[in-house]
A and B are shown apart, each in its own frame.
Chain A
């Protein structure tokens, strides 16, 4: 029936949930905005903020302010929005590992790595200093530069490598 019909039992190992808490959607968005440019807000609202069940971070029921503009509904504070329902005000504060989270991060990072403004933003800074300030913790920075040639890589590759790095997601 299908060409490829694969069981994904290998993923079991990455699903053992104990351990470090991951950043929720608010931090993920704010982090990426800070590192790759504020112009990414619409993209991040779509790929990160709206995925409440994947990234966690509860919505704020009464933070929702909804008005009608040109016969369309506008949510004045998108980060407060309970996209499915107000039951999402009870999702966990901390993020968690999952295949879906990885996929959405990867998708987002692929888009950022091709974004001209983000590339400009990164290019406008001293590369070494930029990468050093990217990580909150020195250890993460040290591990990163061991595995990636920041000096000679293309900016888009650097962005992708930084963005998809799992470490910054662990606050």
Chain B
């Protein structure tokens, strides 16, 4: 057998590369795209997505089995919200019917813009089976699908020639339980963890370069050994810092306006009577009282909307500013950006949640009772947070605060998109928004459980043409979910293009690996998408409610 030059080159490269040994191995790193960047936006906690980027009825004719908790709009006219007239509203964006969220305005540096602009380059993958429950377990799998094997950011960083092959912007969730902390590169590439609440996170990253540059005259006679730092040292750090501070202000302003402005049609454009306006007696109470629950507090506020009066999403503006600087200056190959929840919510006339006992008689057979009504007296601080792991987040709290939470994030994403389009970097980045799983809503509207077989991943970037939605969901949830027969919330259904198998997270990882040109850590899972002529191309378009 003749071994031609092409084979020899492949062999030489292969012998020095990580390679997997199975039928679904991919050709190795020769196709690695050096200028592409992967940004992983991680929301730890598994908040619900049906209000945001999980279109549970993506087409006009899509059948759904309504669930009382899956609502996003007060449908009544007038100045006051009517709880008995709540619907799941949709809006048409390109070929799909998306949740009503996408009709709203987002606040950007160039004024209000329609949220749907963000969907111009967006892929949504719904109904992904994670197979097993668990926050930490599943969040870690988002980047490290096979424990012990190189993870996605490790693979991308391993091929990187950037100053910071990988950066992890840490948030409240810490590092351990979440994706960013799983970084592992067989090529020993580096990931820098930027601690949150650092006095000056931008400085933290560029620290050594800045201080070296200030003393450049002192090391003239060691230049040869450190010549590879020359290029980095040519960066104008003062200018970068000024730009970072300016961007930080922009993002923080966008977030502030997006989460404090009460202008969302059908949601915050009318007053919403809070729990304190209800007469609560001891003994059994109506289940609607649980709608106001937010984990350890039942929110009393006379007008529920005032919960946002003092709210913030800590560190998010800062993170997006850093991210933009790193992307625009080609300083990274991968970035993990961990997102904090809404905190510093404003409560008044509220109650301790353990005043209200949820009595479970059986599956879908619950009632509520009050034996000792206790006022909630903690003062406003970051523990007044919107609980993303929304087990005990009631219908109203979930609908209202989820929407604003995602509005804050979307305003940043849209700002980032517009800024990167302007600097011609939008085509070089894929933003991947993910959490462990979606939610399986409780029949009584008092909260939701883990929907581990309905994970949603959304992707944004110039390489994605238009809005694309893929993934089948069950009209009525089946086994392998928390509740059976629980309506349409997004539990994944089988895909005929995948030999009648469920979509699993490995299909996404293989897709990303293929797109970026690295070996996949999940060789047994076919790629959901690939890269063709610089664009993301789906290998299946199935998107049905079955």
Contacts and interface: CB of A to CB of B under 8 A. Distances in A.
B221 A161 contact: yes
B208 A100 contact: yes
A90 B215 CA distance: 35
A98 B166 CA distance: 12
A11 B239 CA distance: 23
A87 B192 contact: no
A2 B243 CA distance: 9
Nearest to A148: B221
Contacts, number: 121
B4 interface: no
A133 interface: no
B328 interface: yes
A164 B231 contact: no
B187 interface: yes
A89 B371 CA distance: 48
Contacts of B211: 107, 110
What size tier do the contact residues of chain B reach?
35 or more
Interface stretch (A12-20, A65-73, A123-131): A12-20
What size tier do the contact residues of chain A reach?
35 or more
Nearest to B207: A107
A6 B330 CA distance: 9
Nearest to B159: A15
A68 to B, nearest CB: 19
A164 to B, nearest CB: 5
Nearest to B166: A53
B198 to A, nearest CB: 12
Given A5-B329, A12-B161, A104-B208, A84 B228 contact: no
Contacts of B330: 7-8
Contacts of B189: 98
Interface string B368-387: 00000000000000000000
Given A98-B190, A106-B229, A157-B221, 15 more contacts: A1-B423, A4-B234, A6-B232, A8-B162, A10-B228, A17-B188, A85-B181, A99-B232, A101-B190, A102-B226, A103-B232, A106-B208, A107-B208, A110-B212, A160-B218
23 contacts: A8-B232, A13-B228, A17-B187, A17-B188, A47-B208, A53-B191, A53-B193, A84-B193, A85-B176, A87-B176, A98-B165, A99-B163, A100-B190, A103-B229, A106-B208, A106-B212, A106-B229, A110-B218, A160-B218, A160-B219, A160-B222, A164-B222, A164-B226
Interface of A: 1-15, 17-18, 47, 53-54, 56, 84-87, 90, 92, 96, 98-104, 106-107, 110, 113, 148, 157, 160-161, 164-166
